[in-house]
Amino acid sequence: MKIFFMGICGTAMGNVALLMRDLGHQVCGCDSGIYPPMSEVLANSGIELFEGFDPDLLEKIAPDLVVVGNIISRGNPQIEWLLDTQRFAYVSLPELIRDTLLKDRKNIVVTGTHGKTTTSTLTATLLKAQGRDPGYLIGGIPRTLPQGAHVGNTKDPFVIEGDEYDSAFFDKRSKFIHYRPHVLVVNNIEFDHADIFRDLQDVKRTFQHVLRLVPKSGFVVINGDDAHIASLLPVPWTNLLRVGLDPSCDVRITDFTETSQESRFTLLWQGKPWTTVCWKVPGLFNARNAAMAALATALVESPEDPTRVNLESLGEFQSVKRRQEILHATEECMVLEDFGHHPTAITGTLNSLRNRYPDYRLVACFEPRCNTTRRRVLQEPITEALQHADTIHLAPVARPEQLPEDDRLDIATIAQTLTEQGKQAYAYGDYEQILEALLVHINQAQHKQIVCFFSNGAFGGILPKLIDQLERIEV
């Protein structure tokens, strides 16, 4: 079959295009501003890429199926031509995934506001350690897997991130509604994607819908410490298991400690010892991700006795890129990059850094870039999260012209509030100002510093410039 991807350079679209090629289909696609790294991966794999959305291109290629990415909206010339002519069949990306990759498999669907990428990677890694050849689709760049997507053996599970974002301009349901879960993991539920959901109740509603899709023979694995998830229970049509710190959890996390060198914790299965994990991955939130992944793996390997599943491979696990990734390290200054862009994720990372490096001052650089953090609805939670740092540098709100001023995050007020609370906090109009301020701050610092960049984007491109300047100073 000849498949054409509209918006092919997105991470998910590109990875699925590669999987379709692996399944023997003829694949090509287009995007606006063909951009790396996905463009390079696709080109190196022999997938032809086209710049722009020219309707004549569709007619010339004459695909059997068009896959429409969720960045494509009405007004796009290819979509308008396709709708007018009805020449070729079209589907959303989640529909394609459902019908080609997930059919007839015991799918492990990992959902939640935070932790999807890490938990999915952990689950696929653990399944491989049990001798399985799982399929998987990871939304980031895993270090312990050869690539971010793999078809696997169709007799083995498929692990996929269950994103609650919408599927396409013609299908506003969450992506995870399409994913046929056998094991549904729900890590946490918070308000996010403010461009899609009205409020927290709206977010919870879509999770209610996916919970209803788990079959009687399947399993729901939840964060047993999350009150928002608890409000969606019970789920009497399937099997429910809890993971967390509370003594009532089926898998309980105990004795968590962390230092600059390692983290350590013990997992109990219904009160009985399962394993003690010692690994390089920081944070209690990652210990929870590991526990969720361990149970999800066990439920397809040994549901009658999860403790039969060997978890030794966790000790060698390396986190996904851009999760507290160290970009520069000297005795006096460390620079880290973290994908955290939601208040809870920022709080978890800063607390972990404080535990691991008690002698360092914490400098948080935050970029309000995603469709939720650009809005004032999270003004107070963002302020509270950044209180866990000593010094705070606030980047300008991305694409401010798209939001009314009274709906836009007010970084000046956040900086003022934090300053009144005894922090050093600054709001900036452009990224070069942040770079200059950071260089001055680091050079004049009287204490050891950890500078952590929080963003789901490129932070104005200043990270490589900062690293270059710091290395020049050292030389």
Q: Of 316, 344, 359, which residue constitutes the final position of a domain?
A: 316
Q: Of 79, 94, 109, which residue constitutes the final position of a domain?
A: 94
Q: Are 63 and 152 found together in one domain?
A: no
Q: Are 291 and 346 found together in one domain?
A: no
From first to last of the 475 residues of the chain, give the pLDDT tens digit.
Answer: 999 999 998 888 999 999 999 999 999 999 987 766 777 888 888 899 999 999 999 999 999 999 999 889 999 999 999 999 999 999 999 999 999 999 999 999 999 988 888 999 999 999 999 999 999 998 767 777 878 899 999 999 999 999 998 999 999 999 999 999 999 999 999 887 777 888 999 999 999 999 999 999 999 999 999 999 999 999 999 999 999 999 999 999 999 998 888 899 999 999 999 999 999 888 898 999 999 999 999 999 999 999 999 999 998 887 766 666 788 888 888 888 887 767 888 888 898 888 888 888 999 999 988 777 888 888 898 999 999 999 999 999 888 888 888 888 889 999 999 999 999 999 998 999 999 988 888 888 778 888 999 887 778 888 888 888 888 765 4
Q: Are 177 and 65 found together in one domain?
A: no
Q: Are 80 and 107 found together in one domain?
A: no
CATH number at residue 77: 3.40.50.720
Q: Are 48 and 151 found together in one domain?
A: no
* pTM, 2 dp: 0.81
Q: Are 417 and 377 found together in one domain?
A: yes
Q: Are 287 and 395 found together in one domain?
A: no
Q: Are 350 and 297 found together in one domain?
A: no
**Number of domains present in the structure of the chain:** 3
Q: Are 105 and 88 found together in one domain?
A: no
Q: Are 84 and 203 found together in one domain?
A: no
CATH number at residue 290: 3.40.1190.10
Residue 12's domain comprises 2-94
Q: Are 257 and 110 found together in one domain?
A: yes
Q: Are 223 and 305 found together in one domain?
A: yes
With helix as H, strand as E and coil as C, how does the chain read? CEEEEECCCCHHHHHHHHHHHHCCCEEEEEECCCCCCHHHHHHHCCCEEEECCCHHHHHHHCCCEEEECCCCCCCCHHHHHHHHHCCCEEEEHHHHHHHHCCCCCCEEEEECCCCHHHHHHHHHHHHHHCCCCCEEECCCCCCCCCCCEECCCCCCCEEEECCCCEEECCEEEEHHHHCCEEEEEECCCCCCCCCCCCCHHHHHHHHHHHHCCCCCCCEEEEECCCHHHHCCCCCCCCEEEEEECCCCCCEEEEEEEECCCCEEEEEEECCEEEEEEEECCCCHHHHHHHHHHHHHHHHHHCCCCHHHCCCHHHHHCCCCCCCCEEEEECCCEEEEEECCCCHHHHHHHHHHHHHHCCCCEEEEEECCCCCCCCEHHHHHHHHHHHCCCCEEEECCCCCHHHCCHHHECCHHHHHHHHHHCCCEEEECCCHHHHHHHHHHHHHHCCCCEEEEEECCCCHHHHHHHHHHHHHHHHC
